[in-house]
Amino acid sequence: MTFPARRGAYSLLSLLQVALCAVHFQSPSDLPSVDYDFIVAGGGLAGSVVASRLGENQDFKILVIEAGPSNEEIFESQVPGLSLTVSAPGTRVDWNYTIVPQTHVNGFVGPYLRAMMLGGCSSHNEMMYTRCSRDDYDRWAAMTGDINLSWDKLYPYFIKAEMWSGPNIPSLSEAGHFDPSFHGSNGKVNVSAPYHVHPLNDLMVEAVKELSQSSDEFPALLDHNGGRPIGMGWDQDTIGGGFRSSSATAYMAHTGDNVHVLLNTRVTRILPSTNHPSNSIDIRTVEFATSPKGPTSRRTATKELIVAGGVVNSPQILLNSGIGPKDELKALGIKSLIDNPSVGKNFSDQPSILIGISTNLPTDDFNTTTALSEWIDSHTGRYAGPPHLASLGWVRFPGTSSPFKDGTPDPTAGPNSPHIELFFRNVTSIPDLNTSPGNATLLMNIVNLNPVARGSITLATSSPFDAPVIDPNLLGVPVDTAIFLEGVRSIQRLFSAQTFKSSVFELAMPKADADGTLADEVIVDYVEHNAGPNIHGVATCSMAPHGADWGVVDPEFKVRETTGLRIVDGSVMPFVPSGHTQAPTYALAEWASEVIKSSWK
């Protein structure tokens, strides 16, 4: 052994810490009378990262308050193939939110899924791992005037969070589905490129080769996580060894016993402690309860309070506490503490539509009973991977394409950003999908990655236990619909490849005419009746430059006009990045942890 003695002692201590892990309390009355340095309101994706990183300093005592149970109680949260089961609406671990009737989607009303358990939505989401485009971060840095938020500066935090972990099914090599040079292998969250065997996998590779000879719309893309996600490639997911990896399993489960987690308890309000001389209000106290009528308790952090309730609940907590648009709060009888018109506004979520295409490819149905016993026995089989197909595409439209012909500005953050995502779900024989007789349906989503319309989160009542009013304002501006029209045309171009001639046929949803033609009006009508939220909402507590007269947090995540209070979660992102939001939220939370730690050195 050549290790110096101190290093050896340190290693032993680390082992001990791993063995200890965060201490869980099931109800407020169990909580010890400890003075906590930091209190984190919401033990979701970001909250778990921040609590765990702060907890690396053994001198800090941290309290996390989470509305839901521990992820460890929810079996389905472990099994990748059950992600659509654990995230179904109306489960024990869902907030049961519904969006208001969508004016531009024929009055559509539907669920707005949010997990209520430790790890938040990282414990129930569909696990796709997409860092989005470098432009997304560079725009964010330019907009806030803080270079630290740029792709190049945040890149080390993606790596810090990531633990490359493939393959999940030993017999299925994941080589050729990703570029190892873009990935971290000393981090926390397991990431891999799992797939199941289906003919679409090889056909797509062939088609891309064929189409690339005559067009640059569908280039082959080995790995979408290098900052320029444009092209056709492969899915990656937060899965390792056949298990879902979440901020609860990857971070929270490995903290020391200086991190306490109070479960099944809602933060109802945050409260001022003292007034500071400088016009700012010091807010480090949380009020919490387990039911609307139940008693409330309070705790004050000696250092900082960090709100991490996610895109719906972080603004709700602020609004309930009197931080928000003064007039709106007054109308509900809530006393104004800080008049900030930005709280809950600028809500941005990507609209998505489900597309069906007639195909004679085999369905990828499987025996779920067998799959479950295989997973329980060996953590392999269909349930060791995600519930969707492995092909994944990202298309950028040229500036001359139809959505921008009339001079409409390009909504993307820059030339490395796709306009749409092509997300291939499955091949199914569910009847009534308009499919041509004798054929199955290839189901896929087109996602408009850079919506221009903005919605809002407002309060319905002054009770913290009542659901807020959630309005994503889907398709609220015409270009958001125009992008879908071009998206459907793009899919038609993709499947017009000779490679697909004998296997993938005409569109079934929206339905093409018998001769295969599909009018613009039919597509637009379909979009305006079928768009739904992609549940990647952001921006309801948007970050803005220091000293701006709008926005909720500054580039150090501090809430305007306060001391002692930050928000760290997806709600602070000013624009939704051009992909799925969990990888960006991990990097953001890792960075925020650095910022907070560095201010208490």
Ligand X SMILES: *[C@@H]1O[C@H](CO)[C@@H](O)[C@H](O)[C@H]1NC(C)=O
Ligand Y SMILES: Cc1cc2nc3c(=O)[nH]c(=O)nc-3n(C[C@H](O)[C@H](O)[C@H](O)COP(=O)(O)OP(=O)(O)OC[C@H]3O[C@@H](n4cnc5c(N)ncnc54)[C@H](O)[C@@H]3O)c2cc1C
Quick one: what does residue 543 bind among ligand X, ligand Y, none, with the CB cut-off 5 to 8 Å set by partner type? none
Measured between alpha carbons, how far is 303 from 601 in angstroms, rounded to an integer?
A: 12
- Under rule CB under 6 A, residue 360 binds ligand X: yes
Strand 504-509 relative to strand 455-458, pairing: unpaired
- Under rule CB under 6 A, residue 139 binds ligand X: no
Q: Which stretch binds ligand Y (CB under 6 A): 36-44, 168-176, 251-259, 431-439?
A: 36-44
Quick one: what does residue 426 bind among ligand X, ligand Y, none, with the CB cut-off 5 to 8 Å set by partner type? ligand X
Q: For residue 546, indicate whether it is catalytic.
A: no
Is 407 part of any known ligand binding site?
no
- Under rule CB under 6 A, residue 256 binds ligand Y: no
The one-letter amino acid code at 413 reads A
Strand 281-289 relative to strand 266-275, pairing: antiparallel
Residue 423's contacts (CB-CB under 8 Å, 6 or more residues apart) are: 388, 392, 444, 445, 446, 447
Whichever of 342 and 481 has its CB closer to ligand Y, that residue is: 342
Q: Which stretch binds ligand X (CB under 6 A): 49-57, 93-101, 219-227, 290-298?
A: 93-101
- Residue number closest to ligand Y, CB atom: 44
Quick one: what does residue 135 bind among ligand Y, ligand X, none, with the CB cut-off 5 to 8 Å set by partner type? none
Least Å distance, CB 168 to ligand X, is: 8
Residue closest to 134 by CA, chosen among 198, 40, 226, 211? 226
If 0-12 CB within 10 Å is exposed, 13-18 middle and 19+ buried, where does residue 47 land? buried
Q: Cβ distance 573 to 31 under 8 Å?
A: no
Residue numbers 72-91 binding ligand X by CB under 6 A: 90
- Under rule CB under 6 A, residue 387 binds ligand Y: no
Whichever of 36 and 97 has its CB closer to ligand X, that residue is: 97
**Out of 126, 135, 471, 506, which residue is the one contacting ligand Y (CB under 6 A)?**
126
Structure token pair of residue 497:
């490849």
Q: What is the largest CA-CA distance in the chain?
A: 78
Least Å distance, CB 519 to ligand Y, is: 33
**HSE-CB of 270 using CA atoms within 13 angstroms:** 34
- Under rule CB under 6 A, residue 45 binds ligand Y: yes
Beta bridge partners of 504: 359
- Under rule CB under 6 A, residue 266 binds ligand Y: yes
Measured between alpha carbons, how far is 601 from 594 in angstroms, rounded to an integer?
A: 11
Count of chain residues binding ligand X (CB under 6 A): 41
Measured between alpha carbons, how far is 16 from 233 in angstroms, rounded to an integer?
A: 42
Rounded to whole angstroms, what are the CA distances from 282 to 41, 195, 279, 300, 404? 16, 50, 10, 11, 47
Residue closest to 78 by CA, chosen among 261, 189, 239? 239
Residue numbers 382-401 binding ligand X by CB under 6 A: 387
Phi, psi of 508 (to 5 degrees): -105, -30
Residue numbers 554-573 binding ligand X by CB under 6 A: 556
Q: Catalytic: which of 196, 254, 388, 536? A: 536
Residue numbers 52-91 binding ligand Y by CB under 6 A: 65-68, 87
- Under rule CB under 6 A, residue 94 binds ligand X: yes
Q: For residue 580, indicate whether it is catalytic.
A: yes
Q: DSSP states of 16-84 as a string?
A: HHHHH-PEEESSGGG------SEEEE--SHHHHHHHHHHTTSTT--EEEE-SS--GGG-GGGT-GGGHH
**Out of 36, 38, 95, 495, which residue is the one contacting ligand X (CB under 6 A)?**
95
Whether omega before 315 lies within 30 degrees of 0, making that bond cis, reads no
**Out of 26, 85, 300, 428, which residue is the one contacting ligand X (CB under 6 A)?**
428
x/- letters, 314..333, toward ligand Y (CB under 6 A): ---x----------------
Kind and range of the H or E run holding 357: strand 351-359
Quick one: what does residue 308 bind among ligand Y, ligand X, none, with the CB cut-off 5 to 8 Å set by partner type? ligand Y
Measured between alpha carbons, how far is 142 from 16 in angstroms, rounded to an integer?
A: 43
Residues of this chain that interact with ligand X (CB under 6 A) are 90, 92, 94-96, 116, 147-148, 163, 165, 188, 190, 240-241, 250, 341-342, 345-346, 358, 360, 365, 367, 369-370, 387, 425-426, 428, 436-439, 443, 505-506, 550, 556, 574, 595, 598
Residues of this chain that interact with ligand Y (CB under 6 A) are 41-47, 65-68, 87, 113-116, 120-122, 124-128, 130, 266-267, 308-311, 313, 317, 535-536, 569-570, 580-583, 585
Binding residues: 267, 570
Binding residues for FAD: 267, 570
Catalytic positions, written as ranges? 536, 580
